[in-house]
Structure 1
Amino acid sequence: MRIAGEIILKSLGAWVAIWGFSRLLNAPKKLECYTAGVGMIGWAVYLIVEVFNDGILMKNFLAAVAVALVSQAMARHFKAPVILFVIPGILPMVPGAGMYRIVYSIVMGPENMVGTYLLETATAAGAIALGIFLGEALQKVFFYEFHR
């Protein structure tokens, strides 16, 4: 039960952070809460997968698929561009700390760690990109198949 509480609390924190990000980037006011909701869903999926599988690839991939599917649904419902929901949705998963570690290792220190950090960051970014692609492809296949 403790893990569920942590996931809910962290997901709500992600909602607040993404809502602020949406305000900062002047997202349409009527959609700010919904863009934050997409990000909250993506982060919740990330945290749930983390409980079962600590691999960076699976966490980012499944969360990105969820973000893509929910973003497509929101875009259709609100008749808005999908990118308006996808960018805030993937924001919590972006491997910014990995990029920092790469640059820090290049500038300050142990060069033998640059490759490790680079591989980890590229894996996370690739999993996010692949998850978005697959989520959008799945949505198009199912939407067009069942709504002819």
Structure 2
Amino acid sequence: MLTSFIASAAFGLIFNVPKRTLPHCGAVGMAGWLVYTIGMRLSAGAIAATLIAAVTVTVISQLFAKQYKTPIIVFSVAGIIPLVPGGLAYDAMRNVVVDNYGLAVQFAVKAFMISGAIAIGLVFSEVINRIIRGSGKHAAHRHAGRTDRR
């Protein structure tokens, strides 16, 4: 957990996020990694665990963005770093170099699927957030537009 916190906060530092948000970037990454770890221990599989963790990262990022009046990307980009399958991509390329194409394809497909799960998780959470916020606005708009005709 500590490593994921440090990695996320350090990545925020690399991307020049506001210094006051660095601990929050670390917390988002740590929360995402915690959810991923729990998912893996519950035998959800790497792809499902990554999807759930990416949704978690986005939800927490949305909350922090609203609370600190900062763009959501400040938290979501730094927070998603622990979930990126860099080791799998490296293993895929290493196996290409040593002419072990069968294993390289297996690693590459898994890295691609995990990357897709990250993307879907980020988008899915944002869509749900927009639906929830949108339905509240529409309901308020409908009620505001009514006049009492008796």
Give the structure with higher Rg (CA).
2
**1:54 CA drift (Å):** 4.6
Distance in 1 (CA, whole Å) between partners of 2:42 and 2:11 is 29
- 1:122 is matched with 112
Using the aligned pairs only, state the percent identity: 29
Which residue is 2:47 aligned to?
57
Q: CA–CA distance in 2 between the matches of 1:27 and 1:129?
A: 21
How many Å apart are 1:86 and its aligned residue?
Answer: 0.8
2:93 to 103, 127, 131: 103
1:9-20 maps to which residues of 2 (within 5 A)? 11-20=1-10
Counterpart-to-counterpart distance in 2, 1:77 and 1:66: 17
Matched, 1:48 2:38: yes
Alignment of 1:29-44 (within 5 A): 29-44=19-34
Alignment of 1:88 with 2:106, yes or no, is no
Q: In 2, are the aligned partners of 1:56 and 1:123 still within 8 Å (CA)?
A: no
Contact preservation (8 Å) 2:12, 2:74: no
Look up the equivalent residue of 2:102 and give its one-letter code: N
Q: Which runs of 5+ in 2 are unaligned?
A: 141-150
After TM superposition, the score normalised by the length of structure 1 is: 0.86
Residue 14 of structure 2 corresponds to 24
CA RMSD of superposed structures (Å):
1.4
Q: Is the 8 A contact 1:98 1:117 kept in 2?
A: yes
Contact kept, 8 Å, 1:61 with 1:131, in 2: the verdict is yes
- Matched residue count: 138
Runs (4 or more) in structure 1 with deviation over 6 Å come to none
Q: Identify which range, 56-65 or 135-144, moves more after superposition.
A: 135-144
> How many Å apart are 1:65 and its aligned residue?
0.4
TM-score (norm 2): 0.85
Greater CA drift, 19-28 or 97-106: 19-28
Any stretches of 5+ residues in structure 1 without a counterpart?
1-10
